[in-house]
Amino acid sequence: MNDMTGFPPAWPAGVPEHGPIVLVDGDADWRAQAEQALRARGHEVVACDALAGLARMRLPRPAALLIVDAALAVPGWRAEAGAAGGPAFDAGLADCPVLLVVDAREGRLPEQALDGETTDFFVRSRHWALLVDRVRRQCRAARVERELRSRHDERARLEQDMERLISVDALTGLPNRNRFLALCTEAVSEARRAGHQVAVVAIDLDRFAQINESLGQVAGDEAICLVAERLGRGLARLAGSPDPGRDPVLARLPGDAFAVLLPWALDPWRLDEPVDALLQEIARPLTIAGTECFVTGCAGIALYPRDGDAAGLLLSHADSALADAKLRGSRSYRWYAPLPHADARARLKRVSGLHKALERGEFSLSYQPCVDVVRGTLIGVEALARWRHEDEIVPPAEFVPLAEQSGLIVPIGEWAVREASRQIRAWRDAGLRVPKVSVNISTLHFEKPSLAETVRAAIDAHRLEPGMLEIELTESCMVRDFGRTLGALQALRDLGVSLSLDDFGTGYSSLAYLTRLPIGKLKVDRSFVRMLGTSTQGEAVVRAIVALGRSLRLQVLAEGVETVAQARALLGMKCHAMQGFLLSRPVGAAQLPEAIDRIVERCRLASGGSPSARRVRAAATLQGVLQ
């Protein structure tokens, strides 16, 4: 791809940010109106009716966006357009995003709608505001992408740093859990295509706490590094993979745990020996801080496809096999064995309880406030599902995975959207101003075409302004089927609903996707917030996320803020939007007004004066409240 300096001298130096929008469309009437609508918003537009028309066009500057009628965009169209326009024209289009105008009458998207040439699509309509919004977003994304690429001070490096921070373990330099899961997801997809197996081995050191206690944490860290080296060497000695591009992966998990990915499937009976060899390798004496130590470890093994078909599941099964191995003493390893009968029955009972839970009205929503602590205002509340089952509250961490496995997460998500909408209307009618309610929607749900319709129906039924509802999605959405997710997100955006990216930093996100998502908010995962004040890596990640969000003009909200120290650190990074136990736990709908009053009161003292003075006061008042 060309960068700015690669443009031919036909263009003046100091190319402005916004070049013209090139519109190629065969429908003369639609084209004229679209042109008018875009011009009315200050865009410069150059239009023609066919790709051949590009030859006659003179672009004053590189184009900001190319809008093309899908009917004209036959395979290879871009090369053809380049040829028609000549090299200077080609360079002017080299970097520009492409918005494809698709006819709704076709009933389905043409194949090229989201191929490598196309950035986005617009279903042909005369909703000019929508078109203008889509164009604005694409221009913005392209500009940010260009900036990220071309600016090597303060942003491109920031992106790299962040990618490193969220994927590398700071102590050993090995991939961390996130990165391991991402690589494992890739290996599983590849294995699915090629029809082979993938092994995941979880390794944990025995009685490692004793080393930390007797020799100190520095010695403990040294031991972890030595074990990492040994495991690395042991893996390098493993019989080579049939495909040299697919070497084993060693990752460090939190604490004294490691994980190994063997992406080329060995037959199970050929795995025992190398795993045993790795454990022997660890067990050789080590000299740490001048003292000879004996560190041993245990291992658990899970295999794709036999034990699971998703990275997270394989690692968790390898972990449960590891727990089993630990019971058998040091240096042992076990294969994952499916749940014993009784557990399987209990699980089945839960699933059948879950099936009936909706019709029995066993679900409710709790609401947790999200606050701008400097302004002292409520930004919105997050709706969190609660399941009351046989007199106990089953936490989402337990029922959400079950609901996802059984497909019930879709009706639960639909219910949550309806219930949150009903509640917004009830609060409104009672005179309580809750600016926004966000609902968590599972990745699986984004694959259902009905999602936007469910949301629209709920908004209509309760006469809501669509902006009062927000949908939270996680990064895993992007991994599964980016084209489809983007379509679903756009349908929601077109309704006017807000979108936010949840648990940011824990998924498998490629930052390149981020600029293309029509989201308005990033939620920094609480695992990073928890590290604030205790780890420089956590601090660096949060700082990088805040800077990245700001460069994309997104709101950045920190989740799971529990302590004043964390809030202070966030304020120091100018991250004012927070959610967490420090401000309020999730509460029932009836308790929300009181919770809001309490928070606003807490933050009230911070308001007024310059932003920096307000930040200092916000930190002080939060501190005071706790004492």
**Does the CA dihedral 337-338-341-343 come out positive or negative?**
positive
Burial 173-186 (b: 16+ CB within 10 A, else e): ebbbbbbbbbbbbb
Compute how many residues bind ligand C2E; rule: CB under 6 A: 23
Backbone angles phi, psi at 502, to 5 degrees: -85, 160
Pick from 206, 472, 494, 539 the residue near Ca ion by CB under 5 A.
472
Cβ closer to ligand C2E: 374 or 400?
Answer: 400
Pick from 396, 411, 496, 593 the residue near ligand C2E by CB under 6 A.
396
Backbone angles phi, psi at 199, to 5 degrees: -110, 140
Cβ closer to ligand C2E: 204 or 502?
Answer: 502
> What 3-state class would DSSP assign to 561?
coil
Backbone angles phi, psi at 331, to 5 degrees: 65, 15
Minimum CB separation of residue 542 from ligand C2E in Å reads 15
Minimum CB separation of residue 56 from ligand C2E in Å reads 53
Question: Site map for ligand C2E, 599-618, x if CB under 6 A?
Answer: --------------------
Pick from 502, 571, 573, 580 the residue near Ca ion by CB under 5 A.
502
Query: 352: exposed, middle or buried (C-beta count within 10 Å: 0-12, 13-18, 19+)?
Result: exposed
Q: Which does 23 bind (CB under 5 to 8 A by kind): ligand C2E, Ca ion, none?
A: none
Q: Which does 395 bind (CB under 5 to 8 A by kind): Ca ion, ligand C2E, none?
A: ligand C2E
Should residue 385 be labelled a site residue for ligand C2E when binding is judged by CB under 6 A?
yes
Pick from 48, 384, 457, 565 the residue near ligand C2E by CB under 6 A.
384
Q: How far is CA 169 from the centre of its chain?
A: 19
Question: Site map for Ca ion, 424-463, x if CB under 5 A?
Answer: ----------------x-----------------------
| Count helices and strands in the chain by DSSP H and E runs | 22, 21
Should residue 470 be labelled a site residue for ligand C2E when binding is judged by CB under 6 A?
no
CA gap 6, 474 in Å, rounded: 37
Cβ closer to Ca ion: 281 or 559?
Answer: 559
Count of residues in the chain: 627
Site for ligand C2E in 568-587 (CB under 6 A): 580-581, 586
Pick from 440, 476, 490, 555 the residue near ligand C2E by CB under 6 A.
440
**Rg over CA atoms, the chain:** 27
CA gap 427, 472 in Å, rounded: 21
Should residue 566 be labelled a site residue for ligand C2E when binding is judged by CB under 6 A?
no
Should residue 626 be labelled a site residue for ligand C2E when binding is judged by CB under 6 A?
no
How many Cβ atoms from other residues are within 10 Å of residue 29's Cβ?
9
> Taking Cα atoms as reference points, which of 615, 613, 585 lies closest to residue 599?
585
CA gap 18, 139 in Å, rounded: 8
Should residue 584 be labelled a site residue for Ca ion when binding is judged by CB under 5 A?
no
CA gap 373, 603 in Å, rounded: 6
CA gap 222, 304 in Å, rounded: 33
Should residue 470 be labelled a site residue for Ca ion when binding is judged by CB under 5 A?
no
Q: Which does 485 bind (CB under 5 to 8 A by kind): ligand C2E, Ca ion, none?
A: none
Q: Which stretch binds Ca ion (CB under 5 A): 79-87, 366-374, 450-458, 472-480?
A: 472-480
Contact criterion met (CB below 8 Å) for 455 and 417: yes
Q: Which does 487 bind (CB under 5 to 8 A by kind): ligand C2E, Ca ion, none?
A: none
Q: Which residues bind ligand C2E (CB under 6 A)?
A: 368, 384-385, 395-397, 400, 409, 413, 416, 440-442, 502-503, 526, 559-562, 580-581, 586
Residues at the contact surface with Ca ion, assessed by CB under 5 A = 440, 472, 502-503, 559
